[in-house]
Structure 1
Amino acid sequence: MASGAGTILFKVLVFSAIAAVSVAQTPPRFNCSSTSKCHSLIDYIPPNATTIAAVQSLFQVKHLLSFLGANNLPTNTPSSFPLPASRKIKIPFNCNCVNGTGLSDKRPIYKVKSGDSLDKIAEVTFARLVTFQQIASANGLPDPSKIELGQELWIPLPCSCDEVDGNRVVHYGHLVETGSTVSAIAGRFNVSEETILKLNGIADARTLQASQVLDIPLRACSSAIREDSLDFPFLLSNDTYDYTANNCVLCQCDAAKNWILDCKPSQLKASSMKLSNWSSCPAMACEGNNFLLGNSTSSGCDSTTCAYAGFSKQTIFTNISTLNTCPWPEDNGNGASRMGSQGLNLAYLVAFTHVLAFGLLLIQ
């Protein structure tokens, strides 16, 4: 009897301690009502020195190239590349909306190790990206103090696929650093303070906490990708790249290039590619075989590019895009540019206009 009572008391004390430690942490929750899945980013600070391979395995990032692209690391960076404990890195993952909340799409799955507790997994292993309560809820655990060695737990990372002010964005889970402010974060990512406060349900900017995960909407490079493409919406934020179309296409987002998605054949070796049912990469050309994906020509103010427009199970789509780099008369010489696209339907032009308008608002 005494032993049983002691065990019950111990469990109560452990659960109380877990609750006390976590009560100050604002549970990360991103609103998400979109009906489609998307790619998201989230910060991670390893608790100990590690390697890219170890972090990639922990978060089950399937492709090394996607990890490298999210962090703008050279494509030849090895998976054995060391990561110090203090280095903040970005984790790419798939997001899905569930009951108005954005959660990582059933990944990552963590296998319980010796010495683990639910709180340790949340606080240490996953660096406060989730709370122990969220892990317990996602996995249907009635008693958070009861987990078993080898048990597999879904870690529900916060994310979103929603548009912001009518524009598609890359939702980024930013881990707040000690001493940071909403104003500083807004300036760093060219987002208004009002937008950050609204998205994250913060009534008073002064209540911001270190290690809090904020939903930051990053402007995405505009593109001509079709809605029926298997990778739609393919969104990349500034200084990131990724491979698509079964790794046949490499796309980059660079604000210095007018915020237009820059895509070209990947040139990867066949052994590095996930060609699905393709024995080789399909043709990637506009107007026959003389104007290939990524090729550009210039005439006066107009720069014409063979742009990536998505892919299907059999085909890689391309589109002729024209960028006018001459300033409008009313621009007073500020260098604002115009874009036209042959073959784009009205929906794509409207989408681009929305993205451009959103970007201009962020810059103000």
Structure 2
Amino acid sequence: MAQLTILALLCVSLAALSLSPSPVTAARFACNATAPRASTCQALISYAPPNSTASMTLAGVRALFQLRSHRALLASNNLPLSTPPTAPAPTPLRIRLPCLCSGGAGATFQRPTYRVRAGDTLDAVARSVFAGLVTYRDIAAANNVSDPSKVAVGQELRIPLPCSCDPVDGVPVVHYTYVVPAGSSVAGIAQEYGATEAAILALNRMPDAKSLLAGQVLDVPLRGCSSAISNTAIDRNLIVPNSSYIFTANNCIVCGCSSTTWQLDCQATTGIGPSFCPVAKCGDAFLGNITTSTAPACETTMCSYAGYTNSTSFAIHANLTTTSVCNAAGVSPAAQPSHSSASGLASTARWRWSELIACLHVLLSLCLWVSAP
């Protein structure tokens, strides 16, 4: 009977293990860009506050990632500018951070950092503070910590979150660092974020869609809107994905990504006077003005943002661009909500449940055998 008890405890332990989230493995996003303009970029990080910080506010998230402005956090998540810092943080929240390519891989630099508190371990910092976006091994390597179990209270750690700046199929994208929720599928993630299954599998070096794991850190490419920004402009590398907006030109211009034309839609930021922000015009037309031709009636001309310069004086540029909407090619970008709704069951989840059922079946059979006369 004692043997049966031990076996039962073993089975229960296996069941608990099979139902617990998979340990997050280290993610290295390929980042082979080496040109001065291409080796750095702005990437997006998906952050879901752990259960212990589920009530975290936008101000708390901003402080954790050392974001420079509340407005930038709102822009990355397509939230109204009237949203106060005390508002609860949506789950997950998109964090825009600088990314640096080095040695064939990309990682965030400058931010975030973390100051060690009493009782902290590197594993706790990785899992409980930064929600599995990074592993304790990554933190130890980035900070030359030889013994991950020994960190000093007050020590400042650099947190190297995985990211990338590489184009995908020759097209610039915004790379989105995404922690896979339980019950997700590659097809569901691709549909939600306007990517393709093939691109996600290739970027993450996955053999097939069945190898997706809950808790896995994925590189998801987000398509950005086309723009008329000049190659000589300071913000020439500006890429804005759908369901977000961004401030540029010293906050004088706000640009969003159109969900129907894939064209960058930029306007002068309200509330900033002309004494600081130069007026952007195309002749008599102000930035963002649109006119529709009469022949053919489907052509529109827009005064489009063309970037800003500051070589001799601060200047905001604009150009007239013409777009035909008669036979628009392609499809509208899929909406990218602030939280994941990827559907489908991961193969790993199905395997764990089948393992639990098999284990219980063996246990029941042994119970019947022992109780038999």
Deviation at 1:190, TM superposition (A): 2.7
Deviation at 1:269, TM superposition (A): 4.0
Are residue 52 (structure 1) and residue 58 (structure 2) matched?
Answer: yes
Match of 1:12 in 2: none
Aligned mates of 2:205, 2:88 — CA distance in 1: 37
Let me know the Cα RMSD of the aligned residues.
2.2
Aligned mates of 1:38, 1:195 — CA distance in 2: 20
Show the 5 A alignment for 1:113-132.
Answer: 113-132=117-136
User: What is the TM-score of this pair, normalised by structure 1?
Assistant: 0.79
Aligned mates of 2:242, 2:201 — CA distance in 1: 22
Match of 2:156 in 1: 152
Aligned mates of 2:243, 2:272 — CA distance in 1: 24
Match of 1:291 in 2: 285
Are residue 231 (structure 1) and residue 228 (structure 2) matched?
Answer: no
Q: What secondary structure does 1:122 align onto?
A: helix
Deviations 1:170-229 (A, max 9, x none): 111122110111122122223221211110011132221112111011110100112222
Go from structure 1 to structure 2 and tell me whether the alpha carbon gap of 1:104 and 1:22 turns closer, same or farther (over 3 Å shift): farther
Runs of 5+ unmatched residues, structure 1: 1-20, 271-277, 328-335, 338-355
Deviations 1:266-290 (A, max 9, x none): 11346xxxxxxx9611121112xx2
Are residue 184 (structure 1) and residue 188 (structure 2) matched?
Answer: yes
Given residue 301 of structure 1, which amino acid in structure 2 is its aligned partner? C
Aligned mates of 1:138, 1:22 — CA distance in 2: 26
Aligned mates of 2:100, 2:291 — CA distance in 1: 40
Given residue 161 of structure 1, which amino acid in structure 2 is its aligned partner? C
Tell me if the contact between 1:106 and 1:156 (Cα under 8 Å) persists in the aligned partners. Answer: no
Show the 5 A alignment for 1:56-135.
Answer: 56-83=62-89, 87-135=91-139
Match of 1:350 in 2: none
Match of 1:265 in 2: 268
Deviation at 1:359, TM superposition (A): 7.8
Match of 1:274 in 2: none
Deviation at 1:315, TM superposition (A): 1.1
Aligned mates of 2:332, 2:159 — CA distance in 1: 32
Aligned mates of 1:106, 1:99 — CA distance in 2: 18
Aligned mates of 1:111, 1:121 — CA distance in 2: 10
Deviation at 1:23, TM superposition (A): 8.9
Aligned mates of 1:32, 1:229 — CA distance in 2: 24
Tell me if the contact between 2:282 and 2:320 (Cα under 8 Å) persists in the aligned partners. Answer: yes
Q: Percent identity?
A: 44
Say which one has the larger Rg: 2
User: What is the TM-score of this pair, normalised by structure 2?
Assistant: 0.77
Aligned mates of 2:22, 2:263 — CA distance in 1: 44
Deviation at 1:155, TM superposition (A): 0.5
**Which of structures 1 and 2 has the larger relative contact order (alpha carbons within 8 angstroms, sep 6+)?**
2
Tell me if the contact between 2:280 and 2:317 (Cα under 8 Å) persists in the aligned partners. Answer: yes
Aligned mates of 2:57, 2:163 — CA distance in 1: 24
Aligned mates of 1:190, 1:250 — CA distance in 2: 23
Are residue 282 (structure 1) and residue 278 (structure 2) matched?
Answer: yes
Tell me if the contact between 1:22 and 1:131 (Cα under 8 Å) persists in the aligned partners. Answer: no
Given residue 62 of structure 1, which amino acid in structure 2 is its aligned partner? R
Total equivalences in the alignment: 302
